Amino acid sequence: MKPAPTPRTALAPTQRRQCLAWAASIGLGLGLPGAWAQAPAKSQALRVISLGGAVTELIYELGLQQLLVGVDSSSLYPAVAQKLPQVGYARTLATEGLLSLQPNLIVATEDAGPPAVLRQLEAARVPLHVLSAEHRFEGLIERCLKLGQLLQRPSEAQALAERLRRQWQSSVAQVQQLQASANASRPPRVMFVLAHGPQQLRISGQDTAADAMLRYARAENAVQGFKGYRQLTPEAAIAAAPDILLVTDQGLAAAGSIQDFLKLPGLAQTPAGRAQRLVSMDALELLGFGPRLPLALSRLATALHAKA
């Protein structure tokens, strides 16, 4: 889930001139074609902007948060990250806001944009490295090791990757035990509902973080036949007939309570709604595929199989 964009304050004319002057002072042109710059030299102090909550989490987990000069609005964990200068929502960035922090490295996920801003950063020759947002544990390890290279701390990244592998193996073994002890004829059918408000409800099909997490937890996505997200309709909810509803803590808070959430169109008519079987988790923990992924899998699987 991608948190809603936070308002950005436009740069004052003086700030804008300072930003452009800084770009010009190191030979950068904001509107001119240019080759993508190389990563900063090892002798150069890193000034890093992180675009993506899971990327920011990894940087903190590596103990390299002192390199951060800015983050995007999805960087909510750890809470101390929210005190860093904000550059807006990762999907709706502004070039001047990024350059005003004078970064020499920007690390982002594939969600970063819009494309025009990325082109301007390329023209400005600010190194921007886009990390794959694959919804796989192996993708998390790849991002961890790549960050280690970019932040010039490969040994720390290798140590974190090994720790994550051990945690993941433990979580996978726990899921297998939960499935065996459940002794069920079929896995629980779960429908993930992404809710920003009563009128903004979407359900998760295939090729999504929610679908990947359900498969890892040995549960079945009750919604099939499409990729990505679609608007939730009463007919779709009833047809999916989920045993359990999976939501985010943020979505549940927006609805008010579990009872209020279950009053949303179609949900009360599902097996999950009638039995009030609902599981809620923090959005970034559940969907971010960051360093809390092993813990998130354990928590999700435990909750789902207990409800089932």
Give dist(CA 22, CA 233) in Å, integer. 51
Give dist(CA 49, CA 55) in Å, integer. 10
- Which CATH superfamily, name and number, covers 174-307? Nitrogenase molybdenum iron protein domain (3.40.50.1980)
How is residue 301 written in tokens? 């699987």
Q: Which CATH architecture has domain 13-131?
A: 3-Layer(aba) Sandwich (3.40)
Give dist(CA 294, CA 82) in Å, integer. 24
114-161 confidence digits (pLDDT tens): 999 988 988 888 899 999 888 999 999 999 999 999 999 999 999 999
This prediction has a pTM of 0.84
Give dist(CA 20, CA 14) in Å, integer. 10
Q: At 305, is the secondary structure helix, strand, or coil?
A: helix
Across the range 276-292, mean pLDDT stands at: 97
**Residue 29: pLDDT band by 50, 70, 90 thresholds?**
very low
Give dist(CA 121, CA 268) in Å, integer. 48
**Residue 36: pLDDT band by 50, 70, 90 thresholds?**
very low
The domain segmentation of the chain, as residue ranges, is 13-131, 174-307
Radius of gyration of the CA atoms of the chain, in A? 21
Across the range 193-202, mean pLDDT stands at: 82
pLDDT for res 265: 83
CB 255 within 8 A of CB 23: no
Place of tokens 């996978």: 172
How is residue 32 written in tokens? 């001119």
Give dist(CA 132, CA 52) in Å, integer. 11
Q: At 25, is the secondary structure helix, strand, or coil?
A: helix
Give dist(CA 211, CA 229) in Å, integer. 10
Long-range contacts, stretch 110-116, CB < 8 angstroms, 24+ apart: 111/2, 111/52, 112/51, 112/52
184 vs 160 pLDDT, higher one: 160
Of 161, 173, 175, nearest to 61 by C-alpha is: 161
**Residue 198: pLDDT band by 50, 70, 90 thresholds?**
low
In this chain, the answer to whether the domains covering 13-131 and 174-307 adopt an identical fold is yes
